[in-house]
Structure 1
Amino acid sequence: MAGMFIGEHTFKVDGKGRVSIPADFRRELEEGDPLSGETGRPRMVIVYGHDAQKQLIVHTYDGYKALAADIAALPRGSEKRKIMQRMILNRARPTEVDADGRLVLPQPLRDKIGLDGTAYFAGMGETFEIWKPETFEVEDAKITDGWLAEQGDDFDPLSLLDELGA
């Protein structure tokens, strides 16, 4: 099933910004690009977003096209559409997996998230995120030490799905 990026991975980033993409993520990227069978180099789109965004969000090619269609379906001139266009369409960079199964992250994207020697890949279902590992730890701790701690020791994260039916 395309779009099932799960798990966490950490890889070295070389001086040219090349970083290996986890093998299971590469398979999902291949499934999410109809041309990857011909080219062997699946395309993807990296959303770097607003200035306060601390991670890069990577979409499969087809997933990003579907997202762009959802944005285009919003009423023309609406505030929501303008915001989505600026944050998701304007602040994005299409790219592809190189012949060695790596992603080349341009210097401006590395600078935006402070990425230097190591990249942390976080599977998020339909997308995956690329973080500076230390930044991810800080952001993750905010959730764990804040809201999650308030839920108590017997908290079951699956209970959040109950809210869908409420």
Structure 2
Amino acid sequence: MADRELFEGFALQAVDQKGRVAIPADLRAAAERNSDIRQIVVSSHPFDPCLSAHDLSWSKEKYDRIDNPELVPGDAGQQADARAKRRAFGLVEKAPFDDSGRFVIPPFFKKKARIEKWALFYGSGESFE
């Protein structure tokens, strides 16, 4: 993760009737530096009632961490859990974003997170919520 740009900062963004919203500039800049593809991976947060998103390159790194427990402190010697892989990669949706960072929140996740007119974005290191 040494070469990755961290997602830092926060912003409140308007969501239009079609579910479009703009990724805040600082978060978008990190996503663009981390991946050549203008696409984010959206999922439900594993603990909090919100959404989580990250750039495409983080998916590969996250997989490597789940598949190789030696990379995660305290998990050395344990087998990768198939449930952890399903949680991390199964219930996700990729969403492309344009030059201004606008993307359509996937309808399933928009409803699940109860997003209506506003979305609060905040960085959380390797992802943003």
- TM over 0.5, shorter chain: yes
Map 1:36-75 → 2, pairs under 5 A:
36=37, 42-48=38-44, 53-73=48-68
Tell me how far 1:91 sits from its aligned partner: 1.2
How does the TM-score come out when normalised to structure 1? 0.64
Larger Rg: 1
* Cα deviation digits, residues 29-51 of structure 1 (max 9, x gap): 11111x34xxxxx122112256x
- State yes or no: 1:98 paired with 2:116: no
* Cα deviation digits, residues 86-110 of structure 1 (max 9, x gap): 2111111122212442021022111
How does the TM-score come out when normalised to structure 2? 0.80
Q: How many residues get paired?
A: 120
Q: Which runs of 5+ in 1 are unaligned?
A: 37-41, 130-166
The CA distance in 2 between the partners of 1:93 and 1:72, in whole Å, is: 21
Alpha-carbon RMSD: 2.3
Q: Which runs of 5+ in 2 are unaligned?
A: 70-78
In structure 2, the partner of 1:154 is: none
| Higher RCO by CA contacts (8 Å cutoff, separation 6 or greater) | 2
In structure 2, the partner of 1:111 is: 111
Q: Percent identity over the alignment?
A: 28
Check conservation: 2:42, 2:54, Cα contact below 8 A: yes
